[in-house]
């Protein structure tokens, strides 16, 4: 990590810890220079990524300011992470369940564009703009992120407002990374969704139709075995 980026990261992290002590900073292996914060509340993980850029030409600058924000339903993500690991399938480092984006927040573009006021400034040397950026994060967190977290930290609400209303092909607009169809299946079972059996059978028939062609594909077999084990867990324990 460069000295400039380290300074800006630490400055924002100190600001966050002072204003939002419930949040703690964490790192990911893919990019340990990136700035992430999370808070676990009643089985839901609230997370923020602070978006900074580092320019090295023609001058060395730390620029921009931006964000990603999401809710992780710990119960769902932990179950699927364990199964993915067991069946030797890829497990990502970040596990959002619901994204803060234009599909979950009506005025998302306005919020996103509000960070453009910080474009072009070197945040490592312009302390006034760095302070303004920190205050802007505080305002956005209090005004938008916290209501978003409260709204979507409710698995029944996710079932009622997304599972029941969003077309299967558009789930990725709302859900995070990972096996979206399995996340949907878990939510439907836990929430006693009346369409659970229909959806389960649809997924099962999809695997059955592919079985002859894919039976020698190691990854496909792992996914199929994971699916069958997930069904067993859901229907014997929930």
d(CA 69, CA 53): 17
Is residue 174 within 8 Å of 162, Cβ to Cβ?
Answer: yes
pLDDT of residue 45: 97
- 138 and 190 assigned to the same domain: no
Indicate whether 111 and 29 sit together in one domain: yes
Is 211 a domain residue?
A: yes
The pLDDT of residue 47 is: 97
Same domain, yes or no, for 53 and 120?
yes
Structural domain span for residue 197: 179-237
**Residue 67 near residue 115 (C-beta atoms within 8 A):** yes
Kindly state whether residue 163 falls inside one of the protein's structural domains: no
Concatenate the DSSP letters of all residues of 78-147 into one string: HHHHHHHHHTT----S---SEE-STTT-TTHHHHHHGGGGGTT--TTT-HHHHHHHHHHHHHHIIIIIHH
Cβ contacts of 87 within 8 Å, gap of 6 or more: 222, 223, 225, 226, 229
Report if residue 171 sits inside a domain.
no
Tell whether 188 and 151 lie within a shared domain. no
Tell me, yes or no, whether 136 and 100 share the same domain: yes
Q: pLDDT digit of tens for each residue in the chain (238 aa)?
A: 588 899 999 999 999 999 999 999 999 987 888 899 999 999 999 999 999 988 888 888 988 888 999 999 999 999 999 999 999 999 888 899 999 999 999 999 999 999 999 988 999 999 999 999 999 999 999 999 999 999 999 999 999 999 999 999 999 999 977 899 999 999 999 999 999 999 999 999 999 999 999 989 999 999 999 999 999 999 999 9
């Amino acid at each position: 990590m460069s000295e400039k980026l380290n300074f800006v990261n630490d400055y924002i992290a100190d600001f966050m810890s002072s204003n939002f002590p419930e949040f703690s900073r964490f790192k990911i292996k893919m990019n340990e220079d990136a700035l992430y914060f999370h808070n676990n509340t009643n089985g839901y993980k609230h997370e923020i990524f602070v978006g900074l850029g580092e320019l090295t030409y023609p001058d060395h600058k730390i620029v921009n300011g931006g964000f990603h924000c999401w809710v992780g339903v710990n119960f769902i993500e932990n179950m699927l992470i364990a199964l993915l690991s067991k069946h030797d399938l890829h497990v990502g480092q970040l596990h959002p369940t619901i994204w803060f984006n234009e599909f979950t927040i009506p005025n998302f573009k306005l919020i996103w564009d509000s960070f453009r006021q910080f474009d072009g400034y070197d945040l490592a040397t312009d302390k006034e703009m760095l302070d303004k950026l920190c205050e802007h994060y505080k305002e956005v967190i209090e005004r938008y992120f916290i209501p978003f977290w409260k709204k979507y930290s409710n698995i029944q609400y996710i079932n009622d407002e997304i599972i029941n209303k969003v077309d299967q092909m558009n789930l990725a607009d709302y859900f995070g990374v990972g096996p979206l169809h399995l996340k949907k299946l878990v939510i439907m079972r836990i929430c006693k969704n009346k369409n659970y059996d229909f959806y389960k059978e649809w997924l099962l028939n999809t695997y059955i139709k592919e079985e002859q062609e894919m039976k020698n594909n190691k990854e496909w077999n792992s996914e199929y075995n994971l699916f069958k084990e997930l069904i067993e867990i859901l229907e014997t324990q929930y």
